[in-house]
Structure 1
Amino acid sequence: MKLEGIHHVSSITGDAQANVDFYAGTLGLRLVKKTVNQDDPTVYHLFYGDDKGSPGLDLTFFEYPGARPGRPGLGMIHRIVLRVGSEEALDFWEQRLKGSRRSRGSLEFSDPEGLGLELRVVATSDAPLTASHSEIPAERAIQGFEEVRAYTSNPEASRELLEGALGFERAGDVSWQARGDSRGGRYVYDPAPAESGLPGAGTVHHVAWASLDDEQVGWRDRVIA
């Protein structure tokens, strides 16, 4: 069995309308649906993705109105990295995303609540997952997940889980990759800040990894064994 990259990343927002304005309006993702949290029906759940709502570009948000700002810390994901197809695409996004930080092959920025995001030029065999938007040319559109980055003081502490239980392959000193037959994604660690983390608006709730439908029971048995 092999995981098929990142299925979705879910985060927390305190303002659903501002969230829609940014992710659907500015980033050009499709608002696939608005539903409620299965664990708490009083909480709205927003889903963004490509035109088909495909796994591999599925950003979701739980809305807790007026939620206090969060702060990523030890053990928390602090940045979501998304793919684009070219340096010309980064040129486009650098103009569109005021206050973004450009470096070779990437563009870092934050959403209105401080969630860390990055667009990166990546050579990949993964099919692009794009959404149609009147202001964003198709060749400049976001194409899918590349990786998530988390804070840790000891990357090796996760090796048994990532490699043993989940079947990730080592991709560097502090990075692991899950690649299946159709897609891939990476989990990368950065040194933890001194300040402790605080869940809240602008922080990641969880990341989910994709599997083939007929392998889900096998993965469940493997993880809980």
Structure 2
Amino acid sequence: MTLKPLLGQHHVSAITANAKENYRFYTKVLGLRLVKKSINQDDTSVYHLFYADERGNPGTDLTFFEIPNAGQTYPGTNSISLTSLRVANDESLLYWKNRLDEHQVEHEEIKTKYGRKTLAFRDFEGQRLEFISDETNQGVAGGKPWDKSPVPVEHGIIGLGPVKLTVARPEITAKVLTEIMGYREKESIQSDSEGESPLRVFETGEGGTGTEIYLEEKTDVKRERPGRGSVHHVAFRVETEEELRKWVDHLKSARIANSGFVERYYFRSLYFREPNGILFELATDGPGFEGDEPYESLGENLALPPYFENQRAEIEAKLKPLNTKE
């Protein structure tokens, strides 16, 4: 069986305790478009919010499950410890530094890390984020920022960049990335910034920031205790449903426990945990977010996959109202 290479990041899903403030921050401050207001399909009592480029192109989605009683995150190992967001060039980092100051968002200074300009910051719940400049990047293309965003298109977020995995035993994660998932180890790099750990860099497909995984070893901290502001899982792009079904067979033959094929309506998925316990998802590029809402009004109303539609009244009764039309 021949598998096509994974295409790079598909989405990152994180946890928030406050959907209203989350919506405000990611749309009004970061300028992402809410392309889908839906539910956690495994727990229909909470929202699942999808932020992305103008139409939710794969590789641009940052999503959040609302868990109102989520406690504080205690950062540690065996976690997805950083999500980076691509912007067009170094000049855009200057724009973002000023914008974060205007909105009183905690951030670091612009740094050169791993050969690219970056700007690390945190959202209102401590979510660990970083802008990364695509000025010197080559590889998988980014998306297209929404032209109705409060952020000028030329400085808008164009997709997900490298995702950092912090683990206690890097060799077993590296083995899954290379031998099971087909990633290639690109380099081992020391940061240009004091205090940053050396990282191993893996990439797939066309390469570039939209495909890279950073692997960091930490043995002097406890396992992360997730809560609000933590990342739940990272998903990687598979071109088609046919290809995804091959991955189901591939993982089965490699004796890796997995979810099997899962219907998510907006895409099709497969879940498994790598040996350090981090949850990975493989997700198809389509069908996308416009099957149940027109492009012009994406994210404005509660969208339910058809197999939940007969429960709409019950589901809406449990959800706290969230106005996403303004």
Please state if 1:217 is matched with 2:220: no
1:127 alignment partner, one of 115, 135, 141: 141
Task: Provide Cα deviations, 1:10-67, integer angstroms capped at 9, x if missing partner.
Answer: 0110000111111111110000111111111112111111111111011110001132
> Which letter maps to 2:231?
V
- Determine helix, strand or coil for the equivalent of 2:211: strand
Whether contact under 8 Å (1:178, 1:184) holds in the other structure is no
Alpha-carbon distance between aligned partners in 2 of 1:132 and 1:56, rounded to the nearest angstrom: 18
Whether contact under 8 Å (2:6, 2:236) holds in the other structure is yes
Please state if 1:166 is matched with 2:166: no
| 1:134 to 1:34, Cα distance in 2 relative to 1, 3 A | closer
Aligned to 2:203: 177
Larger Rg: 2
User: How far apart are 1:186 and its partner, in Å?
Assistant: 1.3
Whether contact under 8 Å (2:118, 2:131) holds in the other structure is yes
Please state if 1:198 is matched with 2:198: no
Alpha-carbon distance between aligned partners in 2 of 1:175 and 1:150, rounded to the nearest angstrom: 10
- Determine helix, strand or coil for the equivalent of 1:160: helix
User: How far apart are 1:224 and its partner, in Å?
Assistant: 2.3
From the two aligned structures, give the one with the greater strand fraction.
1
Please state if 1:22 is matched with 2:21: no
Alpha-carbon distance between aligned partners in 2 of 1:92 and 1:78, rounded to the nearest angstrom: 25
Alignment of structure 1 residues 40-189 onto 2, 5 Å: 40-98=43-101, 99-101=106-108, 102-104=110-112, 105-122=117-134, 123-129=137-143, 130-173=145-188, 174-180=200-206, 184-189=210-215
- Determine helix, strand or coil for the equivalent of 1:82: strand
| 1:35 to 1:176, Cα distance in 2 relative to 1, 3 A | same
Compute the TM-score of the two structures, normalised by the length of structure 1: 0.93
Moved over 6 A (4+): none
**Range moving further from structure 2, 47-56 or 65-74:** 65-74
Alpha-carbon distance between aligned partners in 1 of 2:126 and 2:141, rounded to the nearest angstrom: 29
| 1:222 to 1:184, Cα distance in 2 relative to 1, 3 A | farther
Task: Provide Cα deviations, 1:136-187, integer angstroms capped at 9, x if missing partner.
Answer: 1111111111211121133212122111111001012312112259994111
- Determine helix, strand or coil for the equivalent of 1:210: strand
Alpha-carbon distance between aligned partners in 1 of 2:208 and 2:166, rounded to the nearest angstrom: 28
Alpha-carbon distance between aligned partners in 2 of 1:17 and 1:103, rounded to the nearest angstrom: 32
Compute the TM-score of the two structures, normalised by the length of structure 2: 0.65
The count of corresponding residues between Structure 1 and Structure 2 is 225
**Range moving further from structure 2, 63-72 or 52-61:** 63-72
Q: Larger relative CO (CA 8 A, sep 6+): 1 or 2?
A: 1
| 1:151 to 1:167, Cα distance in 2 relative to 1, 3 A | same
Q: What is the percentage of aligned positions where both structures have the same residue?
A: 37
Residue ranges of structure 1 left out of the alignment (5+ in a row): none
Please state if 1:208 is matched with 2:223: no
| 1:55 to 1:110, Cα distance in 2 relative to 1, 3 A | same
